[in-house]
Structure 1
Amino acid sequence: MKLTSLKDGGRDGTLIVVSRDLSTAVQVANIAGTMQAALDAWSEVEAGLRSTYDMLNDGRLEDAFALDPAALAAPLPRAYQWCDGSAYLSHAELVRKARGAEMPESLYVDPLMYQGGSDTMQGPRDDIVLADPDWGLDLEAEIAVITDDVPLGTSVDQAVDHIKLITILNDVSLRLLMPAELAKGFGFFQSKPSTAFAPVFVTPDELGSAWNGRRLALPIMSHVNGELLGAPNAGDDLDFDFATLIAHATKTRSLGPGTIVGSGTVSNRNRLAGSSCLQERRMIEKIETGEFKTPFLQYGDTVRIEMFDPQGRTIFGAIEQKVVRP
Structure 2
Amino acid sequence: MKLASLKSGRDGELLVVSRDLSRAVSAREVTPTLQSALDDWATMEPRLQALYSALNEGKRDDAFAFDPHACAAPLPRAYHWVDGSAYVTHVELVRKARGAELPESFWHDPLVYMGASDAFIGAHDDIEVQSEDWGIDFEAEVVIVTDDVPAGVSPEQARQHIRLLGLVNDVSLRNLIPAELGKQFGFYQSKPWTSFTPVLATPDELGDAWDGAKLHLPLRATLNGELIGAPNAGVDMTFDFPTLIAHCAKSRSLMSGTVIGSGTVSNVGSKDGSCCLAEVRCLETIRDGSPSTPFMSFGDRIEIDMLDASGETIFGKIDQVVVQYTPPRD
TM over 0.5: yes
Counterpart residue number, 2:252: 253
User: How far apart in 2 are the matches of 1:92 and 1:57?
Assistant: 42
TM-score norm. by structure 2 comes to 0.97
User: How far apart in 1 are the matches of 2:289 and 2:305?
Assistant: 31
User: How far apart in 2 are the matches of 1:99 and 1:157?
Assistant: 37
User: How far apart in 1 are the matches of 2:151 and 2:99?
Assistant: 36
Counterpart residue number, 1:179: 178
User: How far apart in 2 are the matches of 1:172 and 1:132?
Assistant: 14
Q: How far did residue 289 of structure 1 move?
A: 1.2
User: How far apart in 1 are the matches of 2:93 and 2:179?
Assistant: 18
AA at the equivalent of 1:214: A
User: How far apart in 2 are the matches of 1:166 and 1:113?
Assistant: 18
User: How far apart in 1 are the matches of 2:175 and 2:94?
Assistant: 12
How many correspondences in the alignment? 325
- Counterpart mapping for 1:97-136 below 5 A: 97-98=96-97, 101-136=100-135
Do the aligned partners of residues 85 and 293 (structure 1) sit closer, same or farther apart at CA in structure 2, a change above 3 Å counting?
same
Q: Is the 8 A contact 1:99 1:179 kept in 2?
A: no
Counterpart residue number, 2:328: none
Q: How far did residue 93 of structure 1 move?
A: 1.3
Q: How far did residue 105 of structure 1 move?
A: 1.6
| Structure 2, unpaired ranges of 5+ | 326-330
Q: How far did residue 208 of structure 1 move?
A: 0.3
Counterpart residue number, 2:15: 16
Q: Secondary structure at the match of 1:17?
A: strand
Q: Secondary structure at the match of 1:291?
A: coil
Q: Secondary structure at the match of 1:305?
A: strand
Q: How far did residue 101 of structure 1 move?
A: 4.0
TM-score norm. by structure 1 comes to 0.98
AA at the equivalent of 2:245: I
Q: How far did residue 97 of structure 1 move?
A: 3.6
CA-to-aligned-CA distance 1:19-70 (integer Å, 9 cap, x gap): 0000110001121100100000100011110011011011110100101111
User: How far apart in 1 are the matches of 2:225 and 2:107?
Assistant: 35
Counterpart residue number, 2:288: 289
Q: Is the 8 A contact 1:182 1:188 kept in 2?
A: yes
User: How far apart in 1 are the matches of 2:162 and 2:236?
Assistant: 21
Counterpart residue number, 2:158: 159
Do the aligned partners of residues 132 and 99 (structure 1) sit closer, same or farther apart at CA in structure 2, a change above 3 Å counting?
farther
Q: How far did residue 270 of structure 1 move?
A: 3.5
User: How far apart in 2 are the matches of 1:250 and 1:98?
Assistant: 33
Counterpart residue number, 2:44: 45
| Structure 1, unpaired ranges of 5+ | none
Counterpart residue number, 1:325: 324
Q: Percent identity?
A: 58
User: How far apart in 2 are the matches of 1:298 and 1:129?
Assistant: 11
User: How far apart in 1 are the matches of 2:3 and 2:260?
Assistant: 17
CA-to-aligned-CA distance 1:202-255 (integer Å, 9 cap, x gap): 000000000000000000000000000000000000000000000000001100
Q: Secondary structure at the match of 2:286?
A: helix
Counterpart residue number, 2:4: 4
Q: Is the 8 A contact 2:24 2:63 kept in 1?
A: yes
User: How far apart in 2 are the matches of 1:97 and 1:134?
Assistant: 24
User: How far apart in 1 are the matches of 2:95 and 2:212?
Assistant: 30
Q: Secondary structure at the match of 2:221?
A: strand
AA at the equivalent of 1:45: M
User: How far apart in 2 are the matches of 1:58 and 1:43?
Assistant: 24
User: How far apart in 2 are the matches of 1:184 and 1:109?
Assistant: 25
